[in-house]
A and B are shown apart, each in its own frame.
Chain A
């Protein structure tokens, strides 16, 4: 699953700035002079301490926030057009499933909003649930599932309308370590099956190194990219990958860049 760098980028970020409360004394420069290209089929992680702007950058790509300055293109369109055309799926840290809907109905939510007929909705929802290996749990309610299962439903929902881009904001942050590692494997399996492009925001260095083809290290005040690190570990990755010496080197490398940027 090596990224084909010669293709046109799926996401092109050029000289983007984002300032909150511009002009006030509480002005916050969330992002400064961000330049980043993400290519089709890549798995890219954004990592950095709180306040480095990684979630803000994700929301700029998703058109949930607008940049103060600079140029953003998603699939060669403005983020606004990409959002209206439903070209990405999004997964948040909280599973954000609706209590009043069953698992299947939750997965069908975007399909309903987008006006798909009911037989297609049923079929797609079942396919997605099978993909995340929850095919038999369709009739349960979210509160009957464990945290890991809820996030898998959220992933199934994000992929239901077959977007080409998946944006994930610390999706496994609320899970325990072991569940998180298993979910990482799950996610890589799904990524391999669907060929989707993934932008993944995380706090966890091993997670970023394990999952990605490239890690973008960011630092705060002002939010900026300090380093882009290529992860040359082979795919498909397995539990054993975490035990390779090269894995440890890469994790250490990322950690050192984070420390430098943070100033200690």
Chain B
């Protein structure tokens, strides 16, 4: 029986080839980034732009180096870890609660349908506006006040996405399960949860970015000195803009690393999704 008609459509690629293709893909992006930095430096020098308008990249890097060399004594480093702690803490609380609530309510669709309008409305409200209130509840210097903001921000998108993932299974996939006389619990484990994973991770990726933003902006409303939000506003108020920019850089690094970690976890949890997207 000739297998010519029945060969696989897509062969998986070997990893050195994939790595080279990735590098080639990102090369223009890297060149542009370097180019922008060079142009920025030149423009500031040539036009003698005042440092309170726009510091030179070289000045920012110098200030950054100065701080980092102090190691754990540096307030910038301390602030970075503090903000990271609030962002990650809020993320874990909010996303964890989002997934759990979704699991509970998806089973009883009456409850989840009743809750969805609230969830969608709450998602549109600027949760950050509650920062002064959580500062009052938990205390200005307590990281919980920032974590609470982050948790509420990420809770709703995570819950909404998880409910969607759990309930949006194809009719034929459900019929298949019914033909096996599968219990609702087995249907949840073998069909709904794996089906929901791409939806959940899509929400987690968004949540990772929102967590960093939420933590930093909540700190703008007041908090301990050694947090990035406070550091940035204080340095700007004191006209030390190069130092303010270092705070911004560290905040960006938190955001980017957080996102990358979520991506790595996603790859680990859903290996099939990765190769699927690469082939497509």
Residues on A lying within 8 angstroms of B by beta carbon are 62, 64, 83-86, 88-90, 92, 94, 96, 98-101, 109-110, 112-114, 133, 137, 140-141, 143-146, 148-149, 178-179, 182
Please name the residue on chain B nearest to A96 by beta carbon: B172
Interface of B (DSSP majority class): helix
Which of these, B175, B177, B197, B279, contacts A100 with CB under 8 Å?
Answer: B197
Q: Which residues of B contact A (CB under 8 A)?
A: 1, 5-12, 170, 172-173, 175-182, 186, 190-191, 194-195, 197, 270, 272-273, 275-276, 279
Ordered by A's residue number, 28 sampled pairs between the chains whose C-beta atoms are within 8 Å are: A62-B179, A83-B178, A84-B181, A86-B181, A90-B175, A92-B172, A92-B175, A96-B170, A96-B172, A96-B173, A99-B272, A99-B276, A100-B195, A101-B194, A110-B180, A112-B190, A113-B177, A113-B180, A113-B186, A143-B10, A143-B276, A144-B11, A144-B279, A146-B5, A146-B8, A148-B6, A149-B8, A178-B5
Give 4 closest A-B pairs by Cβ, nearest first: A100-B194, A90-B179, A113-B180, A84-B181
Chain A residues within an 8 Å CB radius of B6: 146, 148-149
Given contacts A146-B7, A149-B6, A179-B5, contact A64 B272 (CB under 8 A): no
CA distance A223 to B177 in the complex (A): 27
* Bound-state Cα–Cα, A101 to B190, Å: 10
Please, which residues of chain B bring their CB within 8 A of the CB of A143? 9-10, 276, 279
Chain B residues whose CB sits within 8 angstroms of the CB of A85 once the complex forms: 181
Q: Is the pair A98, B173 in contact by a Cβ cutoff of 8 Å?
A: yes
Taking a contact as CB atoms under 8 Å apart, the answer to whether B276 and A146 are in contact is: no
Q: Once the chains are docked, how many angstroms separate the CA of A100 from the CA of B273?
A: 8
Contact (Cβ within 8 A) B190 A109: yes
Name B275's contact: one of A88, A98, A141, A149 (CB within 8 Å): A141
Residues of A within 8 A of B177 (CB): 113
Q: Known: A92-B172, A98-B173, A110-B180. Is A144-B8 also a contact (CB below 8 A)?
A: yes
Q: Is the CB of A144 within 8 A of B10?
A: yes
Chain B residue with the shortest CB-CB distance to A89? B179
